[in-house]
Structure formats: C-alpha cells, structure tokens
C-alpha cells in the first residue's frame, strides 16, 4: 500500500524494470513534487530513459507501482493511456518531429489529438511558437531547420498542451552550448509557470547552472538524491 503524499505528482514505489534477465532499473523509489524541477543524471545505460518511459507508459514496469497525478499506472486501461500522456509534454533527444509535417502542424498535432477546436489550436500554437522564437518558421519542414531550431519546436510541442509535467530526455545532448542554454531557459520558464519539469541528462554543465534537485542513477539503481 502506497502512502499518499499530497505534494507528490509522481510516485515511484520499489520499481523494477527487466529486459529478459538483465535489470534496467532496480528497486527505485522516488517522489517528485508538483512544480519541482528535477534532474535525473547518470551515464549512458544507467536507466534514465527507461525511468522516463515508465512514467508515460512507453514501457510497462516489471515490478512496483507508479502513480502519476493520482493515476495508478498498473491499473490503467489501454483506453486511458492517451489521457495519461496528455498530462505530459515530452522532449526527446532526437526531437521526434514528423518530417512530412510543418513546424505548425507538428505542434498543432498535440491539440488536435486532444480534440481541441481549430480556433483554439491556432491561437495556442502561434502563441507557443512565438514564445520559443519559431513563429517565423511555422511553414518550414523539420529537415530545413537546424538542430537547435528543431529542439525549440520539440519544446513548443511539449508545452502547447499546458501539460502538468514536462519530461526532457537529453534535451541538449546534440546541441551546442548556446542552443542548449536557450532550451534550458525555456524549460525554466515553463517551470516558473507551475509545470513540473524532469530533465534526464549526463551533461554536468546543465547541473551547474541550476539549484534544483538531482537524482543519480547508476546501473539502474538510485544512487543519490540531493540538491545540486
């Protein structure tokens, strides 16, 4: 039985994740509060991406329980997975933009999938693209954008649905220092508006610019849980 913590929006309780016989995560217990900015660090293969995937049911847990904003993921039906995912805005290292759709369409997709009205979609998409400085490139296709620009579109897509939680998996992994700084500024801005932000990264430079809590994963185990 998990004890309730009214401040936690995410609760991981003795989580194990196995791929065959090898463990990607071992006995991870972690609470993440509402409006927290959390870094998850560790080397490649430490289990950072797996941890994030368990949160939006990109992968099922092997053992343990995950609670997201009151939803117990081990009891969630297939039909409710989209509702769970709408609580998240997800930023991927490889951006995951749809190459055949324009910047505008990529961002609008989130609201279309949520069944929002066209007028609202247009208003919100323009607004968020303005925020990330991509308003002038709305009609461009992703392949015509630089890496930094593509990641800004990915940030816009993650933020457009006003999610409760933003998950960023190595958001600056393939960006130069300046572009990385811009992306982190946007994440700070969304955090300042009340969004919970979780950043998985192995970039120590990112940690140095922040005072947020850092959890460290090593070989699938939570190694340390501290403020930066």
Partner 1 sequence: MKRFFKRAINDIKENRFLTAITVVTIALSILIASAFALFFVNAGDLLTQWQKGIRMMVYLKPSTSEAARLDTKFRLQSIAGVQEAVYISKEEAMDRLKGQMPNHSALLENLKENPLPDAFEVTLQAAARDSAELQFLSERIQTLTAVEEVEYGRQWIQRFTNIINLFSIAGYGIGALFFMATVFIVANTIRLVLYSRRDEIEIMRLVGATDRFIKIPFYLEGMIQGGLGTLIGLAVLYVGYFSLSSHFQPSLASGLLTLRFFPATICLLIIVSGTLVGWLGCWISLKQFLK
Among 18-26, 91-99, 192-200, 213-221, the segment contacting partner 1 (CB under 8 A): 91-99
Q: Within the chain, what is the greatest distance between any pair of CA atoms?
A: 51
Neighbours of 45 (CB within 10 A): 12
90 sits near partner 1 (criterion: CB under 8 A): yes
Close Cβ partners of 91 (under 8 Å, ≥ 6 residues apart): 151, 154, 155, 158, 166, 167, 168, 169, 171
Site for partner 1 in 13-32 (CB under 8 A): none
Site for partner 1 in 188-207 (CB under 8 A): none
140 sits near partner 1 (criterion: CB under 8 A): no
- Binding residue for partner 1, selected from 16, 18, 26, 86, defined by CB under 8 A: 86
- Binding residue for partner 1, selected from 100, 139, 144, 146, defined by CB under 8 A: 100
60 sits near partner 1 (criterion: CB under 8 A): no
As to burial, measured by CB atoms within 10 angstroms (0-12 exposed, 13-18 middle, 19+ buried), residue 186 is buried
58 sits near partner 1 (criterion: CB under 8 A): yes
143 sits near partner 1 (criterion: CB under 8 A): no
Least distance from partner 1 to the Cβ atom of residue 211, Å: 30
DSSP letters for 156-202:
HHHHTT--SEEEEESTTTTS-HHHHHHHHHHHHHHHHTT-EEEEEE-
Least distance from partner 1 to the Cβ atom of residue 165, Å: 12
Toward partner 1, which CB reaches closer, 79 or 211? 79
Toward partner 1, which CB reaches closer, 160 or 206? 160
112 sits near partner 1 (criterion: CB under 8 A): yes
Toward partner 1, which CB reaches closer, 41 or 195? 195
Q: Which of 213, 221, 209, 156 is nearest to 37 (CA)?
A: 213
Site for partner 1 in 152-181 (CB under 8 A): 157, 161
- Distance separating alpha carbons of residues 175 and 190, to the nearest angstrom: 20
**CA torsion angle for 83, 188, 221, 50 (degrees, to 10)?**
40
As to burial, measured by CB atoms within 10 angstroms (0-12 exposed, 13-18 middle, 19+ buried), residue 193 is exposed
Q: How many residues bind partner 1 (CB under 8 A)?
A: 22
Contacts with partner 1, residue ranges (CB under 8 A): 56, 58, 79, 82-83, 85-86, 88, 90, 96-98, 100, 109-110, 112-115, 118, 157, 161
């Amino acid at each position: 039985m998990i004890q309730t913590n009214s401040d936690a929006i995410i609760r991981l309780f003795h989580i194990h994740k196995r791929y065959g016989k090898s463990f990607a995560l071992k006995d991870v217990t972690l609470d993440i509060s509402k409006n927290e900015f959390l870094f998850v660090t560790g080397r490649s293969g430490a289990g950072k991406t797996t941890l994030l995937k368990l949160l939006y049911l990109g992968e099922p847990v092997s053992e343990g329980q995950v609670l997201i904003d009151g939803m117990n993921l081990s009891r969630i039906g297939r039909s409710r997975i989209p509702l769970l995912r709408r609580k998240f805005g997800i930023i991927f290292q490889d951006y995951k933009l749809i190459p055949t759709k324009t910047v505008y369409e990529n961002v609008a997709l989130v609201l279309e999938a949520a069944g929002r009205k066209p007028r609202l979609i247009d208003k919100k998409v323009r607004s968020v693209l303005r925020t990330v400085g991509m308003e002038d490139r709305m009609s461009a296709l992703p392949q015509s954008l630089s890496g930094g620009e593509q990641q800004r579109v990915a940030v816009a897509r993650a933020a457009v649905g006003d999610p409760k939680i933003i998950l960023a998996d190595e958001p600056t992994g393939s960006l130069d220092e300046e572009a990385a700084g811009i992306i982190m500024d946007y994440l700070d801005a969304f955090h300042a508006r009340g969004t919970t932000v979780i950043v998985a990264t192995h970039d120590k430079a990112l940690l140095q610019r922040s005072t947020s809590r850092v959890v460290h994963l090593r070989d699938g185990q939570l190694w340390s849980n501290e403020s930066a």
